[in-house]
Amino acid sequence: MTKPPKPNSPSRRQFLAGAAAVGAGTVTPNPSRAGAGDPLITEVQDWARALGDGVVTTPYGLPEPAEFDVVRRNISNLSNTTTSSPSFTPFHALEGTITPQGCAFERHHSGAIELSKPDYRLMINGLVDTPLVFSYGDLERFPRETRVHFCECAGNGAMEWRGPRFNGVQYTHGMMHNMEYTGVPLRLLLQEAGIDPSAKWIYVEGADASSNGRSIPLDKALGDVLVAFKANGEALRREHGYPVRLVVPGWEGNLWVKWLRRVEVRDSPVEAREETSKYSDLLGDGRARKWSWAMDAKSMITAPSPQMPVGHGTGPMVITGLAWSGRGAISKVDVSLDGGRNWQQARLAGGCDSKALTRFYLDIRWDGQEMLLQSRATDETGYVQPSKDALRALRGESSFYHNNGIQTWWVQASGEVENVEVS
């Protein structure tokens, strides 16, 4: 487990009194001059004197042993059992936007089940002309789509609602992943069954003991929802719902039912206990908002961060992170080096896919003085990620889910980084 944040985190005012003058702009790295004396340059190395491994030494490749640390982790005291618990993605150590399945966060309510393709069945029933049962092979014969989407648990960051608690982006933001999914639009399967005009909702459930049953409005089901059987080009892993899961782009992870076994077409939602109480957001005035499915725009700086301290001295530094929105594409990310007083626009890498992670960079020259790093996402609807104070003003102190407040990392002169809040 990571160390707890310091109780006396700096206030913005304290920080600004000794604020660092750190500039962005064109930054040229400064590699050492090639010269005599470095055997890695001047001598033939052992690895060049002998043959390396032959092909298929490892039929399915694994990461290098030196990368042993790039793994998902859990928090042992979060739940009594790992069968009903989350694990967290090591975002601090990943680049680009795609999360490899092998280290992507998991969330199970009754454990990851073994379900073979031959045993797989998907039933569509309820308000349909013809109830249907699809085998895995049947699904493969429908037209398919391939799209990249993030899956974020509504509880991502929930433990940080009342203040900094975990020293690492893996724990503060790691209940999400971003994969390229291939599957059949649910719309096509529903149309195959024939939807009754009175239908307004679907109720979806998985084949595991928990079933994780959830209601979804029919409009969404007929929109961009996929019945997916591949992720990042290969079969889904067991922990992500092998052989088939639901992909509900932009909406909270709980709706992304794994080991999908049934879709019931209905005229009303199933008012399960979890629907009305657990997955709702308490507001500051004591009321609760229900059905807050779409994930609001959010961002995180992945490096530097507590698990990825500054390992070099002063000079060129790459500040990088990820931004996303459940309502569309990211249009802008701003980065602050001084706790939200001044902002600079970050460089967005790649295509800024809708409802998918977007990588951003800010290249600076670090003068070695401390910084209070923040990132702030804006999405294509114009929505701007709020500060944690602004979020609490709206939702109170006792909310839990949907924490999309701006995160602060305190980069100290030593290069160490801590999870703090500024006000």
Q: Which residues bind ligand MTE (CB under 6 A)?
A: 105-109, 151, 153, 177, 206, 208, 210, 212, 239-240, 253-254, 256-259
Q: Least Å distance between CB 80 and ligand MTE?
A: 16
* Residue with Cβ nearer ligand MTE (112 or 188): 112
> Is residue 191 within 8 Å of 199, Cβ to Cβ?
no
Q: Is the Cβ of residue 149 or residue 395 nearer to ligand MTE in the bound state?
A: 149
Q: Which is nearer to ligand MTE, 134 or 259 (CB)?
A: 259
Closer residue to ligand MTE (CB): 104 or 195: 104
Cβ proximity to ligand MTE: between 22 and 248 the closer is 248
Pairing assessment for the beta strands 298-303 and 347-349 based on DSSP bridges: unpaired
- C-beta atoms surrounding 72 within 10 Å: 19
Give the separation between CA 350 and CA 333, rounded to whole angstroms: 14
Which of residues 177 and 395 has its CB atom nearest to ligand MTE in the complex? 177
**In the complex, what is the shortest distance from the CB of residue 236 to ligand MTE, in angstroms, rounded to a whole number?**
8
Q: How far is the CB of 211 from ligand MTE (least distance, A)?
A: 6
Cβ distance to ligand MTE smaller for residue 86 or 321 = 86
Q: How far is the CB of 258 from ligand MTE (least distance, A)?
A: 4
Give the nearest residue (CB) to ligand MTE: 206
- Least Cβ distance, residue 130 to ligand MTE (angstroms): 25
**Shortest Cβ 157–ligand MTE spacing (Å):** 13
16: tokens are 């600004």
Kindly tell me which of 150 and 366 has the beta carbon lying closer to ligand MTE. Answer: 150
| Cβ at position 189, least distance to ligand MTE in Å | 18
Q: Supply the minimum distance, in Å, between the C-beta of residue 263 and ligand MTE.
A: 13
